[in-house]
Amino acid sequence: MLVALSFFKVLLPLLYLVVWGLYLWLFIGDSSVARRLCSRVAGITVLIHLSAMVVRAMELRRLPMGNNLEFFSALALATLATYLVIEFRQRGRSGGVKNTGVLVTGVAFLFEFTADAFIINNAPDNPLLKDPGFAGHAVLVLFSYTALSLSFIFALLYLLLSRQLMNRHFGLLFRRLPSLETLEKMSVGAVKLSIPLMLGALILGHLWMYDLADRLPPDLAAKLSPWDPKVLISWVIFLGYSLGLAGYRFLGWRGRRMNMLAVIAFVVTFTTMGLVHHFFPSFHKFQGHLAVWDLPVLEQTQAPALVEEVSR
């Protein structure tokens, strides 16, 4: 297993680099070879990365998102996989869909390179990471927010192309990017992916929270509240994006304003999350590690039975 992990540690950043290189080659040189290969190689990379995650989870016997670097690797996988889904759904609609991949795969490569360059297997053995409820919740959150990030990127590309057209600049972006309509559909498509994932994450999070509360002493259970600011703001984000989607679907919201809204929504989402995280008390906090919940009370063995149970 350790040999396999070491192998993946070398292979994965190389694969992500190749994927990025292909998308870059396609964007700069409009190469037909790159056009033919990029999605296939990206798909293979996702499958190999998924296998690496499974091997890592089996080896460590926990969700492989135990520290910042592991989280970055998971983020790279989520970014590439979500992008491929969106690209696949828009294939054949308009030329240039694949040309949007250069930004996304570049970001994915940076995440994976950072993760594999510095990763060490000494993440704290937090019992939460062994809990299937938490694992499902965390994975759904990861994918839903990744999809929102992609929606932001596509909306940004829409605004860039729109501006170029308005200013009559017929440069590289004009030649390479797909139509405004396609970019809008890609942005909305990403939100459409995100909404059910986010709903799943919220529901699973609530169910898991109640399940955990049942197993904790009353004073600790009281800390797990559905009125926690972070949980509340997540519901607000979910409702906000759902409303935007309804406006697109039923009220015909389109164009520059809709994409501006998508950019603003994303910026507001992450700013609000940051503010809530730093300025409001929450049980739902990260401390030092992006993906490891810090429930110090659990660590202090005030609930030894639970710790023992989840550890087993």
Question: Residue 91 Cβ, how far from other proteins at the closest point, in Å?
Answer: 12
206 or 256: whose CB is closer to other proteins? 256
Nearest in space to 85 (alpha carbons), one of 42, 135, 52: 42
Question: Residue 171 Cβ, how far from other proteins at the closest point, in Å?
Answer: 8
Q: Where do contacts with other proteins occur on this chain (CB under 8 A)? A: 30, 32, 93-95, 161-162, 165-166, 168, 170, 174-175, 178-182, 185, 251-258
2 or 251: whose CB is closer to other proteins? 251
Question: Residue 177 Cβ, how far from other proteins at the closest point, in Å?
Answer: 8
114 or 162: whose CB is closer to other proteins? 162
Question: Residue 184 Cβ, how far from other proteins at the closest point, in Å?
Answer: 9
Question: Residue 285 Cβ, how far from other proteins at the closest point, in Å?
Answer: 39
Alpha-carbon distance of 5 to 180, in angstroms, equals 42
CA distances from 38 to 105, 128, 157, 231 (A): 10, 37, 20, 38
253 or 283: whose CB is closer to other proteins? 253
Alpha-carbon distance of 32 to 10, in angstroms, equals 28
Report the amino acid identity of residue 74: A
64 or 96: whose CB is closer to other proteins? 96
Ramachandran quadrant class, 119 (left: phi over 0; alpha: psi -120 to 50; beta: rest): beta
Kindly report the backbone phi and psi dihedral angles of residue 301, in degrees, each rounded to the nearest multiple of 5, phi listed first.
55, 30
Q: Using an 8 Å Cβ cutoff, are 75 and 49 in contact?
A: no
138 or 161: whose CB is closer to other proteins? 161
32 or 122: whose CB is closer to other proteins? 32
Question: Residue 264 Cβ, how far from other proteins at the closest point, in Å?
Answer: 14
CB atoms within 10 A of CB 56: 24
CB atoms within 10 A of CB 109: 26
CA distances from 250 to 31, 58, 87, 96, 243 (A): 39, 46, 24, 28, 10
Alpha-carbon distance of 181 to 162, in angstroms, equals 11
Question: Residue 148 Cβ, how far from other proteins at the closest point, in Å?
Answer: 21
